[in-house]
A and B are shown apart, each in its own frame.
Chain A
Amino acid sequence: DGGITQSPKYLFRKEGQNVTLSCEQNLNHDAMYWYRQDPGQGLRLIYYSQIVNDFQKGDIAEGYSVSREKKESFPLTVTSAQKNPTAFYLCASSRDKNYGYTFGSGTRLTVV
């Protein structure tokens, strides 16, 4: 079945460490997105990529980095510069602007 996979589901990191969240899709979608969700809040866009080797900052890109070397993969690195990284992170993909977004099941990151 086609879909979008995020791993791991839960992630713990020590303060000051970088950590990379994985997002893989086999839907042949061109566009991919990363969102952050805090408890009781909506989703905020971190980064998005419309095509391989190209990506743009979203509303809250500071402290995060991404790469898009392959169409299927869009990993997100949470760097030590991110002041409050504990959150639920969601990855999504889309075929084009007239189609809905498919979301992964999310990664819950906790800084200890």
Chain B
Amino acid sequence: DAKTTQPPSMDCAEGRAANLPCNHSTISGNEYVYWYRQIHSQGPQYIIHGLKNNETNEMASLIITEDRKSSTLILPHATLRDTAVYYCIVLNNAGNMLTFGGGTRLMVKP
């Protein structure tokens, strides 16, 4: 499985954009990048996913580099409720297993 590397923690001011990086240099051509977040003691929540192109939905934007070796999740206007652990995951070729690393603990501060 392609491994991902994320910074363990980040801070962001409320109302500002939060940019969360993820390195996935061993990703294969047909493997998707998924982002989830987990608020304490709850199940992870799906945010967004992508293959090659940049993606945007009501929650966030996903920017994937042209070589696909890294991506950035953007929360355009972070709120206190966005404080959570954010996981970047790459699906393996079978598409049926997810390995979650430690993620990035995002702290949004007033």
Contacts and interface: CB of A to CB of B under 8 A. Distances in A.
User: Do A and B share a complex?
Assistant: yes
Contact of B98 (A33, A102, A104): A33
Contact of A97 (B42, B43, B96, B103): B96
A50 B43 contact: no
B95 A105 contact: no
Nearest to B34: A100
Given A98-B32, A100-B49, A42 B100 contact: yes
Nearest to B51: A98
A45 B95 contact: no
A43 B100 contact: yes
A40 B43 CA distance: 14
A48 B43 CA distance: 17
Interface in B74-101: 87, 91, 94-101
B100 A104 contact: no
A45 B43 contact: no
B102 interface: yes
Contacts of A59: 99
A106 B42 contact: yes
A78 to B, nearest CB: 18
Contacts of B100: 35, 42-44
Interface in B30-54: 32, 34, 36, 41-46, 49
A13 B36 CA distance: 31
A86 B93 CA distance: 32
A29 to B, nearest CB: 11
A7 interface: no
A88 B95 CA distance: 24
25 contacts: A31-B96, A35-B100, A40-B102, A42-B87, A42-B100, A42-B101, A43-B87, A43-B98, A43-B99, A44-B99, A48-B97, A92-B98, A94-B96, A96-B95, A97-B91, A98-B32, A98-B95, A101-B36, A101-B46, A103-B43, A103-B44, A103-B45, A106-B42, A106-B43, A108-B41
